[in-house]
Each structure stands twice: as structure tokens, then as C-alpha cells.
């Protein structure tokens, strides 16, 4: 039912879009109609450029996101195990967290050039904190009552960590992973808008330079749809691997 009403909203928005452009209420240059946009999209699909740009963007997101997970999870685990290390590093990390990754883009370009490394770097900078903080929060909030059960059952410290604390921290970690997924798209498109020669962000900025608002809209729509698909896949993977979170998923809390 929520899915249906969600699509209904899309339908209404589409109709409104159609109406405003068909009546000439808004100039077609500012807001091309749905058919113009569809035509532009079809053309981009046919000449393969849409697929090419999307693939490049997806690859960057996948790489940056994966790298963030590989960095953030062990570090969160280490901090969970060593509270001293945590309080030692926390101020520096907290400082870094306050800086929007795109504000660091000029420095990244200077240090890493305008190639792939810099784009992946921006994504890592923006994904790392949601994942790291989600995992850290989850570990810190693991129910001490369940940990006591582990102690009574004779589990070692390591076993308590892997068999009780980690599963217990999963809901918070999943929230972090999902937020990071959204952030990674934003950071990527931001980076591609500023310095790049391929990718969906480039497609948009290039179209803007050529005054092709319809292609700009195609890019925007594709980014939105890809984001939705990624999120749905993430939910689906979670539902399969952690069925006990089902009720929380349905309530939309995870």
C-alpha cells in the first residue's frame, strides 16, 4: 500500500509537469515537457552515451563506497575494543567530520589530480563518517543485558564481540550504510560537476553548457532512479541476511 501511494505521487507530479509545459505556462527552455525529455533520453540510450556515463558513475560509487566500508568497519571495531584509542582520536575525527567533502575538493584536486583517485576520494570522505559512526554507535549501544548472557554462557571476550555485540549493532550500522549510500551519490555528482570528462554529473554540466535543459533533466532523473534502485537492493539484501530486523524494516526505522 505505501508503495502504491508512493507511485501515485509520482503520477501526480508527472501530470503537473505535463500540464505546465503543455499549457506554455513555463517556457520550454526552463522546463522542457516530459515528451521532449523522453526523446532526449531515448537518443542518449540509443547512442550508448547514457549507459557509458552511468556505468562510469556507478563504478566510482561502488569503488568509493566499498573502500569506505573496508576502512570504517575495522576502525569502528578497534575503537569499540579500545575506548582509550577512541577518546584519543575522537577530536581529530570530529573536526574532519564537520568539513563538507566538497569543500575539500580543491585540495583533493591539487593533491590527487583530476583523475579517478580524486573522485573516489571525495566519495570515501563523504561515506566514511556515516558508516563509521553507525557502526561505532551500534557497538556502544549493544544491550549490556545480552552481553551478560554471553558472560554467563562462558563466551570469551572475542566471542562476545563477534557473536553478540556485532549482531546487536547491526540496526545502527545499517542506518549508517544507507545514509552513506545517499551521500556517495551526492558527493560523486558534485565532483563530476566540477572536474571530469565523463559520468552523470559531467553529462549534466555538459548539457547545461550547450543549453540542453532536456538532457539536464534526463541526468537528474537517472541519478534519482539509480539511487532508489541502490536503496531497494540494500534493503532487500538486509531482509535476506537479517530477517529478525524485518519488523523494523517495515516500520521504516532501518
Write out the residues near other proteins by the rule CB under 8 A.
Answer: 145-146, 148-155, 159, 163-164, 167-168, 170, 242-244, 247
Q: Are 85 and 78 in contact (CB under 8 A)?
A: yes
- Residues 62-72 as b or e (16 or more Cβ within 10 Å = b): ebbbebbbeeb
Least Å from the CB of residue 149 to other proteins: 5
Least Å from the CB of residue 159 to other proteins: 7
- Helix count and strand count (H, E) for the chain: 12, 0
Q: For residue 211, what is the DSSP state?
A: T
Least Å from the CB of residue 150 to other proteins: 7
**CB nearer other proteins, residue 161 or residue 188:** 161
**CB nearer other proteins, residue 27 or residue 141:** 141
Least Å from the CB of residue 172 to other proteins: 14
Contacts of 170 (CB under 8 A, 6+ apart): 138, 242, 245
By CB atoms closer than 10 A (0-12, 13-18, 19+), residue 236 is exposed
**CB nearer other proteins, residue 153 or residue 225:** 153
Least Å from the CB of residue 146 to other proteins: 6
Query: Rounded to an integer, what distance in angstroms lies between the CA atom of residue 11 and that of residue 213?
Result: 22
Calculate ∠ Cα 205-15-41, nearest 5°.
35
**CB nearer other proteins, residue 103 or residue 153:** 153
Q: In which element (H, E) is residue 241 found? A: helix 213-241
**CB nearer other proteins, residue 86 or residue 163:** 163
Amino acid at each position: 500500500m505505501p508503495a502504491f501511494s508512493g507511485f501515485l505521487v509520482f503520477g501526480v507530479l508527472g501530470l503537473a509537469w505535463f500540464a505546465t509545459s503543455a499549457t506554455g505556462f513555463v517556457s520550454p527552455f526552463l522546463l522542457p515537457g516530459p515528451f521532449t525529455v523522453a526523446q532526449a533520453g531515448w537518443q542518449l540510450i540509443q547512442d550508448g552515451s547514457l549507459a557509458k556515463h552511468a556505468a562510469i558513475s556507478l563504478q566510482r560509487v561502488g569503488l568509493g563506497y566499498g573502500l569506505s566500508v573496508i576502512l570504517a568497519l575495522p576502525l569502528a571495531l578497534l575503537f569499540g575494543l579500545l575506548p582509550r584509542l577512541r577518546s584519543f582520536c575522537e577530536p581529530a575525527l570530529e573536526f574532519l567530520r564537520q568539513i563538507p567533502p566538497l569543500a575539500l575538493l580543491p585540495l583533493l584536486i591539487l593533491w590527487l589530480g583530476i583523475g579517478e583517485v580524486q573522485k573516489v576520494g571525495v566519495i570515501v570522505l563523504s561515506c566514511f563518517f556515516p558508516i563509521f559512526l553507525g557502526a561505532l554507535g551500534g557497538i556502544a549501544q549493544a544491550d549490556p543485558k545480552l552481553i551478560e548472557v554471553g558472560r554467563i554462557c562462558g563466551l570469551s571476550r572475542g566471542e562476545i564481540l563477534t557473536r553478540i555485540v556485532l549482531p546487536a549493532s547491526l540496526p545502527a550500522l545499517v542506518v549508517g550504510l544507507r545514509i552513506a549510500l545517499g551521500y556517495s551519490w551526492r558527493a560523486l555528482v558534485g565532483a563530476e560537476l566540477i572536474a571530469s570528462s565523463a559520468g552523470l554529473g559531467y553529462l549534466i554540466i555538459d548539457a547545461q553548457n550547450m543549453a540542453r535543459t532536456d538532457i539536464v533533466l534526463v541526468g537528474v532523473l537517472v541519478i534519482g532512479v539509480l539511487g532508489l534502485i541502490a536503496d531497494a537492493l540494500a534493503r532487500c539484501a538486509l531482509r535476506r541476511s537479517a530477517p529478525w530486523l524485518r519488523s523494523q524494516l517495515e516500520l521504516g526505522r532501518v
